């Protein structure tokens, strides 16, 4: 009898990552941009997820325009592992926008996009041509750390962007996601979602309903389930 393949458990500190939740509020029901991970993926195979991924070394080099809300900026700096806090912020927001472009083809929350050529280029080429993240179009809404015992572990920051900020849609992806599309908040939970995605979706409704600095939750694993702390808001700070 053949033994099932051994799943290698991730050891070490969780990798820094960023996710972008793009919301279309033009209709009667808000919709979010999501896709399905490959069935052979090491991390969350076959699950529907928001686009995102780990930070790359060069993400911190990208000079953004605009600025985050000061309170959200302070929360984003909490628990940071960058010697240069400003570089850390640049890395998180750039990774969220870059990964969304690479995985879905949607270029969101940037400025400096020219009318020629940029839309067909890769991310590095677009940055060299002057494309840069626009912090003024983003909101920091959540943080979560993958539970231990998984083949990958990430310390992820979740950002929110309005679909009105989509600058271009190009027919290219890196193959990480399939079935890319817009999913209504009232129906998306019928799909195969990771548990943390379900939790963040609940918080997303609050973030959309409240414009006056809603809570920014921090999810971490303890005692066999996710615990929720508050980084900023009406509750006690974590």
Cross-strand pairs, 15: 154
Q: In which band, very low, low, confident or very high, does the pLDDT at 13 lie, cut at 50, 70 and 90?
A: confident
Q: What is the pLDDT of residue 4?
A: 42
Whether 8 has a pLDDT exceeding 80, the answer reads: no
Q: Is the pLDDT higher at 108 or at 114? A: 108
Fold annotation for 15-232? Nucleoside Triphosphate Pyrophosphohydrolase (3.90.79)
Rounded-to-integer distance, Cα 18 and Cα 157, Å: 5
Picking from 136, 137, 139, the residue whose alpha carbon sits closest to that of residue 166 is 137
Q: What is the pLDDT of residues 66-101, one digit of tens each?
A: 999 888 998 998 866 767 889 999 999 999 999 999
Q: In which band, very low, low, confident or very high, does the pLDDT at 56 lie, cut at 50, 70 and 90?
A: very high
DSSP structural state of residue 162: E
Q: What is the pLDDT of residues 130-146, one digit of tens each?
A: 899 999 999 999 999 99
Dihedral (Cα; 128, 129, 135, 139), 10-degree rounding:
-90
- Helix H or strand E segment including 198: helix 195-209
Q: In which band, very low, low, confident or very high, does the pLDDT at 228 lie, cut at 50, 70 and 90?
A: very high
Q: How big is the CA angle at 199 (ends 154 and 206), to the nearest 5 degrees?
A: 120
Q: What is the pLDDT of residues 22-42, one digit of tens each?
A: 999 999 999 999 999 999 888
Q: What percent of the chain has pLDDT over 90?
A: 59
Q: Taking the domains of the chain in order of start, what are their residue ranges?
A: 15-232
Q: What is the pLDDT of residue 112?
A: 85
Q: How far is CA 36 from CA 44, 51, 99, in A?
A: 9, 9, 14
Q: What is the pLDDT of residue 176?
A: 87
3-state secondary structure of 108: strand
Specify the pTM.
0.89
Rounded-to-integer distance, Cα 168 and Cα 131, Å: 12
Whether 211 has a pLDDT exceeding 80, the answer reads: no
Q: In which band, very low, low, confident or very high, does the pLDDT at 121 lie, cut at 50, 70 and 90?
A: low
């Amino acid at each position: 009898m053949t033994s099932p393949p051994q799943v290698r458990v991730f050891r070490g500190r969780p990798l820094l990552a960023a996710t972008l939740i793009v919301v279309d509020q033009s209709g009667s029901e808000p919709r979010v941009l999501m896709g399905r991970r490959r069935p052979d993926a090491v991390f969350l195979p076959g699950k529907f997820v928001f686009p995102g991924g780990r930070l790359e070394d060069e993400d911190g080099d990208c000079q953004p325009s605009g600025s985050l809300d000061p309170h959200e900026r302070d929360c984003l700096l909490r628990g940071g592992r960058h010697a240069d806090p400003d570089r850390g912020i640049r890395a998180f927001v750039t990774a969220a926008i870059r990964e969304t472009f690479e995985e879905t083809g949607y270029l969101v929350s940037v400025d400096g996009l020219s009318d020629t050529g940029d839309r067909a280029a890769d991310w590095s080429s677009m940055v060299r041509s002057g494309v840069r993240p626009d912090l003024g179009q983003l909101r920091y809404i959540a943080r979560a750390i993958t539970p231990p015992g998984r083949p990958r572990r990430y310390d992820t920051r979740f950002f929110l962007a309005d679909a009105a900020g989509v600058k271009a849609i190009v027919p290219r992806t890196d193959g990480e996601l399939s079935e890319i599309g817009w999913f209504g908040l009232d129906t998306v939970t019928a799909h195969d979602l990771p548990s943390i995605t379900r939790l963040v979706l609940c918080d997303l409704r609050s973030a959309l309903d409240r414009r006056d600095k809603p809570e920014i939750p921090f999810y971490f694993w303890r005692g066999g389930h996710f615990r929720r702390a508050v980084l900023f808001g009406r509750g006690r700070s974590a």
